[in-house]
């Protein structure tokens, strides 16, 4: 599941400290805005075993990965706009359906035996969505530091084919 979260002032955030990502295994948050420049507030917090909320700071282009069942919340945005790409990785049967499927059956109840996809009202979708990749998946990562320029690049991605997990760390593109 891929979600784009955009919180503008006054943004309520996710105030419930007992929020978690139901049924997924791993959640990746990719920060698309620069904290303290594009927005103030909006800190991601996790509820720790001692009952305290721990703030996790990450900058534009950085990724925060955590187990999806970990309780987490997001502080309200005080100024500007916070943009985050959220990726949830799930386990379960392969799906072709274009929605967050909650069925544990072998096939989606909104898919016909011949593979046609139905909307919530049971009508056939005119343009079926493309197939996604199947789990289990492999993860790839890369870290590139440029201390002279004062920045670093960390990338974390899903890949199913070995060739997808190879990346030239010297590629400046």
Q: Is 26 in contact with 65 (CB distance < 8 Å)?
A: yes
Q: Is 153 in contact with 108 (CB distance < 8 Å)?
A: no
CA angle 21, 26, 12 (to 5 degrees): 40
Integer Cα distance of 14 and 58 in angstroms: 17
Average pLDDT over residues 5-24: 86
| Whether residue 3 has a cis bond before it, omega within 30° of 0 | no
Average pLDDT over residues 125-129: 56
| Whether residue 51 has a cis bond before it, omega within 30° of 0 | no
Highest mean predicted confidence (pLDDT) among 63-72, 86-95, 113-122 = 63-72
Integer Cα distance of 98 and 108 in angstroms: 10
Please report the pLDDT score of residue 167 as a whole number.
41
Q: Running DSSP on this structure, what letter comes out for residue 125?
A: P
pLDDT at 111 over 70: yes
Q: Is 46 in contact with 66 (CB distance < 8 Å)?
A: yes
- pLDDT, the chain, mean: 75
pLDDT tens digit sequence for 137-149: 444 555 666 666 6
Average pLDDT over residues 28-45: 95
SS3 label, residue 18: coil
Strands 44-47 and 2-8: unpaired
pLDDT at 73 over 90: yes
Those residues with Cβ within 8 angstroms of residue 157's Cβ, 6 or more apart along the chain or in another chain: 139, 140, 141, 164
Q: Model-level pTM greater than 0.85?
A: no
């Amino acid at each position: 599941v891929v979600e784009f979260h955009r919180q503008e002032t006054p943004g309520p955030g996710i105030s419930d400290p007992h929020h978690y990502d139901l049924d997924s295994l791993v959640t990746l948050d990719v920060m698309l805005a620069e904290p303290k420049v594009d927005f103030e507030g909006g800190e991601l917090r996790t509820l720790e075993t001692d009952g305290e909320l721990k703030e996790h700071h990450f900058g534009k282009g950085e990724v925060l990965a955590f187990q999806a069942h970990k309780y987490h919340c997001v502080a309200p945005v005080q100024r500007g706009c916070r943009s985050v790409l959220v990726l949830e990785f799930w386990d379960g049967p392969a799906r072709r359906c274009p929605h967050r499927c909650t069925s544990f059956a072998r096939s989606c109840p909104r898919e016909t035996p011949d593979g046609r996809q139905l909307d919530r009202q049971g009508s056939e979708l005119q343009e079926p969505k493309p197939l996604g990749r199947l789990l289990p998946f492999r993860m790839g990562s890369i870290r590139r530091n440029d201390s002279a320029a004062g920045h670093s690049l960390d990338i974390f991605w899903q890949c199913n084919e070995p060739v997808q997990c190879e990346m030239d760390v010297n590629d400046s593109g």
